[in-house]
Amino acid sequence: MIAARLTEGNVVVRGAGTALLRAKTELVRVLGDAVIRAQDGGALSFSASFCGACFDVLSGFQVDHELASIIEGWRCHAAAVVRARAILEAGAYQPPHEWAAKLDPHQTLALGVLVEPGLKGACLFDEQGTGKTVVALAAFDVLARCGDIAQLIVLCPKSMIASWQREAERFLGATYRVADVSAAGYARRDWSKANIIVANFDALPRAGVKIGGFARARRTLLVVDESYYVKSDKSERTYLALALREFCVRAFVLCGTPAPNAALDLLSQFDLADAGFTFGPVRPVSGELIRSRIASRGVVVRRLKSDVMPELAPKVFIPHRVVLSVRQRWLYDRASNGQWLETRGVDAKVIRWPLRSQFQRRAWQFKICNSPSAIDPTCTSNAKLEALDRILNNLVSQRGEKVVVWSHLSQPITEMMQRYSAYRPVCITGETSIEGRTDAVDRFQTDPFVKLFIGNPAAAGAGITLTAASNVLYYSLSNRAADVMQSLDRVHRRGQRAAAINVYVLIAENTVEELAWENVACHARGQAEVLGDDAPALSGFAPTEGESEDDAA
């Protein structure tokens, strides 16, 4: 008979003969190299945090009381997974009456999955803009009322702290006390009496121990919003989030773009959701293996806006191919072919920019396309800004519509803020404070005279609502596909009532930008394949097609 017991955070397995061989083989199949030979010889050992992945193997062993209760917890989770899937399959769930009126049918269904008794965690991967935040808050409320959960810890990007606070106050009223923990101000806040703690990812290195202490003290629900921030299992941020997860009894990860690069992005997010139940310590290498593992063990709720919000107008991509000015093209060709790029400063001194690596060259090419004066102060012509002038003149001045403009470079954002001051623009970049972000969004949403929102998708791409506009314009694009996919849906989301959402994309013709946009579209297709979506986020977008500004002129 094989026996297993819990010793100092490890499961130690004992036995002899071929029975031990069988036990080892089954454990290695699930846990891989995490199964090690115990120090005292003969027996096997592995970390108790991997029990979720191998609870069914452990069920066949003779176990001590402590381990038996852990295994029982995972058995309950496995049963809850089956019931949660049945809810999704049936497409119906009767929520508590206080939430029935507040939620849409697709949100009600997701709530049914999240509050399933015994479930340790789930992934809510509904497309961005479908209302995941309110579902998570509702799940917390339902679980708190039945005594299963005592407090909620939310991990999210800095830009979303304010919206979590606002949504909690809006949907939960004064029932719960909310406290925020930003990286800079965690020490000043008193959050000892709070039921809901909202912390940004960057606060974890400083405040992680304190947050962990709170999580350990009471039955805690962890919600990780925009979980693609913790997709890399080698980052400190992910490590700290996983450490916090160990103290929480239940966890939900929320994200509309969970796999912006590859199927591998999903692994850490599932680890956070179900503490290793789906994947354990073994990292499958192929997308097919990952999908089959999720299909057999994971709980994922993924719906597209086209399925759950048919009234929402579809996005229409309007690529504008811009021909670079003569000076820009000259600079661009020099940057593409030479080892150096020579320009003159305002004092007529020669500046030599080195272009030794592919990365340097690529960065310079982007700058020349979008902000040539940042490299060559004597270059006063910027074809993209001139194209933007024409589009904004048409949309804002003539039609009086609001526009959201995205640029991943800071120099063009500064230029645009000055150039279009008549449109009373608001702006969010990485330097904008939490209060400043809330103010910018509020002004854009409510002030009819504020016609322009200018933002960096890396800083403002997630967690804000800009439905006052129905026009989105990409001046330049980020290298990170997730930022593009997320920022697209700040306008295209719940609350948007326009008959059409127009997405203008400015692409410098015959430059690296065409390739970069193709790359983003490719990532979007990849994610759709991984998640089994009917249509990718950039469906209908072809960067090499579209009207050329030359032709238009």
Partner 1 sequence: MEFYSREVIKLMHPPFMQKSSPEPKLIQKKFNGRQLQVWLGKVPIGSVKGWLGNPRIDIEKRVYAEAIGRVELTQDEILDLMKSTQSIRLQQLSVDIQKNGLQMPLILTYDGCLLDGNRRFFAIRLALESMDAADPARRDLETADAWVLAEETSECDRHHVLVETNFAPSLKIEWPDLVKAEEVVKLYRQGLDEDQIAKALSWTKTKVKETIRTREILDEFLLFAQQATTPSEDDLPGLGLSEPEAVKLASDRYQFFNEAQKSFFSQLRTDYDFKMRFFRWIADEKFSSFAEVRIAFKAYQMPEARAQIETGGPGAGKVAKAIVDYNERTIRTGSDADQRILSFADFLKKLDAATIKSLSSEAVGALSEVTALLRRMSEAAKS
Chain residues that interact with partner 1, rule: CB under 8 A: 1-2, 16-22, 24-26, 28-29, 37, 39
To partner 1, the closest distance from the beta carbon of 64 in angstroms equals 19
Residue closer to partner 1 by CB (options 289, 498) is 289
The residues facing 403 across adjacent strands are: 452, 471
Q: Tell me how far, at minimum, the Cβ of 363 lies from partner 1, in Å.
A: 36
The C-alpha angle with vertex 245 and arms to 239 and 251, in degrees rounded to 5, equals 130
Closest CA to 400 of 467, 455, 448, 445: 448
In the complex, the smallest distance separating the C-beta of residue 60 from partner 1, rounded to whole angstroms, is 9
Q: Nearest distance from residue 19's CB to partner 1, in Å?
A: 4
**Cα distance between residue 171 and residue 250, in whole Å:** 21
d(CA 253, CA 114): 11
State in angstroms the smallest separation of the CB of 36 from partner 1. 10
Q: CB-wise, 22 or 419, nearer to partner 1?
A: 22
Closest contact distance (angstroms) between CB of 25 and partner 1 is 4
Q: How far is the CB of 283 from partner 1 (least distance, A)?
A: 13
DSSP 8-state assignment for residue 397: I
Query: Which is nearest to 550 in space by CA: 308, 313, 329, 364?
Result: 329
**Residue with smaller CB distance to partner 1, 37 or 352:** 37
For 527, residues 6+ apart whose C-beta sits below 8 A from its C-beta are: 257, 258, 259, 260, 481, 485, 533, 536, 537
- With beta carbons less than 8 A apart as the criterion, state whether 2 and 58 touch: no
- What residues contact 314, with CB distance under 8 A and at least 6 apart? 306, 501
Closest CB 288 distance from partner 1, rounded Å: 17
58 in Cβ contact with 277 (< 8 Å): no
- Please state, in angstroms and rounded to a whole number, the distance separating the CA atoms of residues 23 and 365: 58
CB 287: neighbour CB atoms within 10 A?
16
Residue with tokens 């120090």: 39
Nearer to partner 1, 21 or 542 (CB): 21
Q: Which is nearer to partner 1, 23 or 134 (CB)?
A: 23
Residue (36 or 209) nearer to partner 1, CB? 36
Supply the minimum distance, in Å, between the C-beta of residue 18 and partner 1: 4
**Closer residue to partner 1 (CB): 47 or 232:** 47
Q: Please identify, using beta-carbon distances, which residue of 288 and 431 lies nearer to partner 1.
A: 288
Find the shortest distance in angstroms from Cβ 177 to partner 1: 48
Please choose, from the candidates 348, 475, 337, the residue with its C-alpha nearest in 3D space to the C-alpha of residue 405.
Answer: 475
> Which is closer to partner 1, CB of 44 or CB of 273?
44
Cα atoms found within 13 Å of the Cα of residue 160, Cβ hemisphere only: 28
With respect to partner 1, which residue has the nearer C-beta, 1 or 348?
A: 1
The nearer residue to partner 1, 293 or 321, going by C-beta atoms, is 293
Closest CA to 321 of 538, 542, 39, 6: 542
Closer by beta carbon to partner 1, 289 or else 318: 289
In the block, residue with structure tokens 């029990």: 51
Contact call for residues 163 and 180 (beta carbons, < 8 A): no
Which residues are registered as beta bridge partners of 341?
Answer: 353
CB of 37 to partner 1, least distance (A): 8
Question: How far apart (Å, rounded) are the C-alpha atoms in residues 154 and 164?
Answer: 8
Angstrom distance (rounded) from CA 386 to CA 407: 15
Nearest approach in angstroms of CB 519 to partner 1 is 28
Q: Which residues of 147-170 are buried (b: 16+ CB within 10 A; e: fewer)?
A: eebebbbbbbbbbbbbbbbebbee
Which pair of structure tokens corresponds to residue 306? 């086209």
Q: Which lies closer to partner 1 via its Cβ, residue 19 or residue 500? A: 19
CA dist 326 and 330 (Å) reads 6
- The answer to whether 52 touches 11, Cβ cutoff 8 Å, is no
**Closest by CA position to 530, among listed 298, 307, 230:** 298
CA–CA dist 423, 112 (Å, integer):
45
User: Two tokens at 517?
Assistant: 């946009």
Work out how close the CB of 16 gets to partner 1 at its nearest, in angstroms, rounded to a whole number: 7
Q: What is the DSSP letter of 407?
A: -
As measured in angstroms, the least distance from the Cβ of 242 to partner 1 is 24
Nearer to partner 1, 33 or 545 (CB): 33
Please give the structure tokens belonging to residue 310: 């048919």
